[in-house]
Amino acid sequence: MYDRGLSEEQRMMRQSCRDFVDEVVLPFIRENWQREWSMTPEDRLPASILGEAEKIGIRALGVPEEFGGIELEKGAEVSTFAMIAEEIARGDSGLADKLVQNWKVSVLLRQLAPRHLQEKWFKRLVEDPQFLMAHCLTEPRGASDRWLPYNVPEAAMQTKAAKVNGGWVINGRKQFISNGYDAGLYVVYANTNPKVGMLQGTSSFLVPRDTKGFTVARCNETLGCRFMNNGEMVFEDMFVPDDHLLAQDDALGKAGIYFRPGKIIQAAKNLGVGVRAFEATADYVQNYVQGGRILIKHQAVALRLGDMATRIEAVRALTERAARAVDDNAPEAEVLCNMAKLFASEEIMKVAQHAVELHGGNGVMLDFGIEKVLRDAIIFLHMDATVDISKFKIVKNMFPQTAGKYAGPE
């Protein structure tokens, strides 16, 4: 474990996260691997695990101190999020998803929500160890168009919000939402002007779960990160009052508040999966004997281990650099956070593949457990923009006058 460059506070937080993972999360996963496969989402992750996360103070990061949150070091918030996300994902990436959604949505709400609603919801979040939040952008059609964004009226969101006396009426559907099945509070994006491109005509709203017209339609059965309880939700003539409007018309422009830390956190969770894959594999190849000697003494095995370690360090280096850029609000932050997320997703996939292969037949046995790193790693190729869309976003950002002008007349 490298400590260089960490403050005393960060070092202590990291140690308590590591202890939580080693003493609570990993033993739970080892002894209860079947629970991940329960088709009753409520039965998957016991409430006590979030309760334990609460004890070390990592559930409500991002909440301002005045509302009972824990203030992270100024200018190092995103780097600290990354450090903690990596540690928790080393135990379980789906559990990390549950927690990081709370941090990311809190960062958004503390900038966009009116003070009385911050007070109300941050209080709920801080008081209830099971309270989760979700961020609902993706719909059954056109998620990649939103990421790019493809800024023409045809690519606008199908979810619509219409202005009525005293508030807004929202109709539509969101899918693939992390924490979607469990959350108590949702941020929902909807089209508010069908005549213009989505950058000019999308608004965001705060939606409590008990709002009339709001339904959680299903919990998606995902390949990996299964504890996140990814969900789908439907809005039918759902009324929210005026003060629940977070950003009118330019909500996608403001979503960077959420997405920049979000990309770093994605890369960091992915890194945690890679670290887990490496640790478990290093242990295995130093104990398992084949051809009269432990695996690591066979050079072909050692080469793979060297490859895994190098990829992990390269991901760490880029993620840390990108996190600092986001913390510093540097001009290169946008391109670097996309690069970090993209690079982590492709590299850790290769790390996970080595891990599974070096375990031989055990590599694909559910009760052995190493297959989980491959299942968790593959999810990152699809979350927060696909690999190809991420690459295109990087190039658009680097060449704004040519690739940047993606939609509209030449």
Ligand X SMILES: Cc1cc2nc3c(=O)[nH]c(=O)nc-3n(C[C@H](O)[C@H](O)[C@H](O)COP(=O)(O)OP(=O)(O)OC[C@H]3O[C@@H](n4cnc5c(N)ncnc54)[C@H](O)[C@@H]3O)c2cc1C
Q: Which residues bind ligand X (CB under 6 A)?
A: 135-138, 143-144, 147, 176-178, 222, 225, 230, 379, 382-386, 388-389
Closest separation between CB of residue 110 and ligand X, Å?
Answer: 19
Contacts of 326 (CB under 8 A, 6+ apart): 78, 260, 261, 264, 333, 336, 337
Minimum distance from residue 128 beta carbon to ligand X (Å): 20
Both tokens of residue 146? 């939103």
SS3 assignment, position 187: strand
Nearest CB to ligand X, comparing residues 52 and 232: 232
Shortest distance, position 178 Cβ to ligand X, whole Å: 4
Residue 14 vs 44, nearer CB to ligand X: 44
Give the rounded distance of the alpha carbon of 245 from its chain centre. 24
Shortest Å distance, C-beta 74 to ligand X: 28
Q: Whose Cβ is closer to ligand X: residue 90's or residue 135's?
A: 135
8 Å CB contact between 259 and 384: yes
Phi then psi for residue 138, to 5 deg, are -70, 140
Smallest separation (angstroms) from ligand X to the CB of 36:
14
Residue number, 108 or 305, with CB nearest to ligand X: 108
Nearer Cβ to ligand X (178/211): 178
- The CA distance from 179 to 130, in Å, is 11
Buried b / exposed e across 380-399, counting CB within 10 Å, b at 16+?
bbebbbbeebbebbbebbee
Measured CA to CA, the distance from residue 291 to residue 298 in angstroms comes to 9
| Minimum CB distance to ligand X, residue 405 (Å) | 14
Nearest residue (CB) to ligand X, 172 versus 320 = 172
Nearer to ligand X among residue 76 and residue 183 (C-beta) = 183
Angle at 207 between CA 109 and CA 128, to 5 degrees: 70
User: Of 142 and 167, which CB lies nearer to ligand X in the complex structure?
Assistant: 142
For residues 241 and 230, what is the distance between their CA atoms, to the nearest angstrom? Answer: 27
**C-beta closer to ligand X: residue 386 or 397:** 386
Which residue, 137 or 333, is less far from ligand X as judged by CB? Answer: 137
Closest CA to 83 of 70, 96, 95: 96
Complex with ligand X: residue 370 or 383, whichever CB lies closer? 383
User: What DSSP string describes 59-122?
Assistant: SSBTS-GGGT-BPPPTT-HHHHHHHHHHHHHHH-HHHHHHHHHHHHHHHHHHHHS-HHHHHHHH
For the chain, what is the largest distance between any 2 Cα atoms, rounded to a whole number of angstroms?
Answer: 79
Number of helices (H), then strands (E), in the chain: 14, 10
Q: Supply the minimum distance, in Å, between the C-beta of residue 337 and ligand X.
A: 15
CB of residue 384 vs ligand X: minimum separation in angstroms? 6
- Smallest distance from the beta carbon of 387 to ligand X, in angstroms? 7
Query: Nearest distance from residue 247's CB to ligand X, in Å?
Result: 15
If one counts every other C-beta atom within 10 angstroms of the C-beta of residue 5, the result is 9
Helix boundaries (H) for 128-255: 143-147, 198-201, 251-254
Return the H-helix or E-strand segment holding 373. helix 371-379
Closest-CA residue to 327 (of 80, 6, 59): 80
Q: What angle do CA 25, 28, 29 make, to 5 degrees?
A: 85
Q: Kind of pairing, strands 214-219 and 167-177?
A: unpaired
* Shortest distance in whole angstroms from residue 219 CB to ligand X: 12
